[in-house]
Amino acid sequence: MPEEATKPGRHPIMLSALVMPGLGQLAQRRWAAAAFYGSGFLAAFLLVLFFAGHILVAYYSFGLALNTQAEPPRMTRDMAGVAISFGVAVIFYLAGLIDTWGACRKSVSRWFDARSQRASAGINGTSSEGSSQGG
């Protein structure tokens, strides 16, 4: 008798939600999706840090300058970079989470279908054995 497969768990969804997008796809052994969502999120997050670092350097260099007549630095480009990069990171996060959830639903559905097919085959197989032995 073949060993029954265990029901797929939800740990890939938790990995994508709580740790980093792409880890859930790795747990599901979906390598291309893991590389896409993981590297996309990581690149966007690093851009957020890059632009935020520019803002912090400009802010503290202006605050520490002894020249009080200096004009404050214009940081609109860096602030827009932070906002856009953060938005892209959120999009990658949500898309990766939805992708992991959808793949998990498909695997649970396949598991349930296979289980119900095995159960119906077992019921049909038992009734046919009983009728052949009785006659």
- For the residues 100-111, what does the mean pLDDT come to? 82
Where is pLDDT greater, at 40 or 54? 40
Measured CA distances, 17 to 23, 32, 48, 54, 98 (Å): 9, 19, 19, 29, 10
| pLDDT (0 to 100) of residue 4 | 58
What's this model's pTM, rounded to 2 decimal places?
0.71
Rounded CA separation 84/82 (Å): 6
Q: Which of 2-16, 34-48, 61-75, 98-112 has the highest mean pLDDT?
A: 34-48
- For the residues 54-65, what does the mean pLDDT come to? 77
* Lowest-pLDDT range of 48-52, 101-105, 115-119, 121-125: 121-125
- For the residues 120-128, what does the mean pLDDT come to? 63
* Lowest-pLDDT range of 31-40, 71-80, 97-106: 71-80
Where is pLDDT greater, at 30 or 68? 30
| pLDDT (0 to 100) of residue 130 | 47
